[in-house]
Structure 1
């Protein structure tokens, strides 16, 4: 749970809440600086300790030091004198790769490495910083983020639609909510995917031990997650990795990354989910060197939002867009293709 827009009065100074957590009932005693490191993205232990020394970390409305040990049901709040930076949107002249634009909307190709909206540790250089520079009066979505109908992860490349009017925002958001929009992603995953195609259904929610990850909840825990459906199809088998197409029926955070890991096929070079290690293959040092070369060529998770389809909010016409697989991912595919052919020839 994170809350971002509340404030409390303390010594006549207004403090703004940046993060809020309720400690799980099964939590073992743990220093609060270690606890928060696992839950706040891009937070270093040094930053957390500095915040604690400055009296910014509260447990049950009392400031605590960095060596405080959290207990089940503790209410933790991180409070500062300034509002969260994600609400201080600075227009920045960052070029956009726009593939379509009219008075109602635009479709753009986001490069890997660009964060979609400001958040902890990423307050500039985001897509929204670029959008508010290039376009005036973009409508806010339900999270007060201008123009954003949906999002893709920082290190995922590919297509996004942006609303330019209130009507478009409402219409397009409903299409995503109703699952009538069409989205296809291309991914390289570890291992040889057995079935040529399949559907993954698994409720996705925040990982109980690592809050920077999401995970699939099953059985009695199913209520801890939200329903998510991914359809996948094998495009090409490349030895120890497989090139797959994934179509989303729902749009949960990290959905493809979580679902593919759940069926034993973590995305190639997905650091957050453990795909930046050799998960399949041989023990030969030559193979290790080959994989490390692939990691260098593609220094991110192998995921690209390739196609996007939706109905135009004004004309009702079906629009479909396709973006080429970017060079870093294409080079990685070619390397694996060459490696697989070489192995087959032996």
Structure 2
């Protein structure tokens, strides 16, 4: 059976097994038959020392193949260094050490596969003109935390290394105030509680996060229902404020889905269809993303010691949806 490779294989060892009938063939030709990698690429990888067998590196693509397992290491793709881009930013605060922005939905925090430009990093490189902290590396300068691409709201970035180190320590210790507003399908019960689980990569889909029985990392979310929409005995939707005690990837989205009340329009965790009236409200509002907004970020300035707190309202798409939901 041939092995298909994709960009996600970059930087990871891949096992290729040659059967006894491949013995005596050219090594590159035999390996090409059990993969969809071209012979020319295999030759280059082998010459670069990326192929091994039984712990020994093989560098001769024309050598005779032997049956058994070969390990082929695909090098991680080298991303191009992001260039400054003059993109609109809503700046809430800025000084010599840090900058706080209200990130728009649709803007990724940093470059990644599928999002090579148009990110917050590109915008900050232009706005800050060489003053971002370099601790995050060339692809993530100044970035100490992130919001999902389609989640709007308050983010902070570091302009100096001392601010970067201080902010990273605050996030690691969870010594910040962070609150998110979510519009959910249905309303969680009870109306106020704490969700504590283990979160990690889904064993069924590595692009998703999931609640795990074992492994992963502890994730704690405190939530409270602020409003319900539709019949009180069976709400069609709700406005829920979520306060993070930990900050795991997709934490709020996974926890709300785990409670059976995913964010409306969540393309990954939004299992179950909302009522027809809610669907009509979504269409009328023009919301095309998960209804989640990072509304509050509060922390002690890592350099000056000043206590800072920023609060923003959800953008027009969520406000429009909420206005439509109030009519249910």
Smaller-chain TM-score bracket: 0.7 to 0.9
Question: Following superposition of structure 1 onto structure 2, how do residues 1-346 of structure 1 map, counting pairs within 5 Å?
Answer: 19-20=10-11, 52-53=37-38, 55=41, 61=51, 78-79=74-75, 83-85=78-80, 88-135=81-128, 136-142=130-136, 145-218=140-213, 222-223=214-215, 225-238=216-229, 239-275=235-271, 278=273, 280-281=274-275, 287=277, 290=280, 293-294=283-284, 297-339=286-328
- Gap change, CA 1:299 and 1:317, over 3 Å in 2: same
Q: Deviations over 1:268-319 (max 9, x none)?
A: 10001135x51x43xxxx647615525x611000000001000012221211
- Gap change, CA 1:208 and 1:102, over 3 Å in 2: same
More off after superposition, 152-161 vs 206-215: 206-215
Rounded to whole Å, the distance in 2 between the matches of 1:201 and 1:138 is 35
Give the drift of 1:141.
Answer: 3.5
Contact 1:17 1:77 in 2 (8 A): no
Q: Deviations over 1:226-269 (max 9, x none)?
A: 11110001010113111100001111110101111111111110
- Gap change, CA 1:270 and 1:166, over 3 Å in 2: same
Rounded to whole Å, the distance in 1 between the matches of 2:226 and 2:195 is 17
Rounded to whole Å, the distance in 2 between the matches of 1:289 and 1:156 is 20
Q: Deviations over 1:151-207 (max 9, x none)?
A: 000000000011111111111110111111111000011112221211011111111
Give the drift of 1:21.
Answer: 5.0
Rounded to whole Å, the distance in 2 between the matches of 1:90 and 1:126 is 10
Contact 1:139 1:164 in 2 (8 A): yes
Contact 2:198 2:212 in 1 (8 A): yes
Contact 1:186 1:244 in 2 (8 A): yes
Scaled by the length of structure 2, what TM-score is found?
Answer: 0.76
Contact 1:18 1:83 in 2 (8 A): no
- Gap change, CA 1:55 and 1:103, over 3 Å in 2: same
Give the drift of 1:328.
Answer: 0.3
Contact 1:228 1:251 in 2 (8 A): yes
Give the drift of 1:146.
Answer: 0.7
**SS of aligned partner of 2:10:** strand
Rounded to whole Å, the distance in 2 between the matches of 1:188 and 1:162 is 27
Aligned length: 274
Rounded to whole Å, the distance in 2 between the matches of 1:193 and 1:274 is 14
- Gap change, CA 1:126 and 1:194, over 3 Å in 2: same
Rounded to whole Å, the distance in 1 between the matches of 2:253 and 2:308 is 27
Scaled by the length of structure 1, what TM-score is found?
Answer: 0.72
Taking only aligned residues, the RMSD between alpha carbons, in angstroms, comes to 3.0
Contact 1:21 1:75 in 2 (8 A): no
Rounded to whole Å, the distance in 1 between the matches of 2:71 and 2:98 is 42
**SS of aligned partner of 2:99:** strand
Contact 1:234 1:245 in 2 (8 A): yes
Q: Please, which runs of 5 or more residues in structure 2 have no aligned partner?
A: 1-6, 15-35, 53-68, 230-234
Give the drift of 1:84.
Answer: 2.4
Rounded to whole Å, the distance in 1 between the matches of 2:9 and 2:143 is 22
Rounded to whole Å, the distance in 1 between the matches of 2:156 and 2:115 is 21
Q: Please, which runs of 5 or more residues in structure 1 have no aligned partner?
A: 1-15, 24-50, 63-72, 340-346
Rounded to whole Å, the distance in 1 between the matches of 2:280 and 2:309 is 37
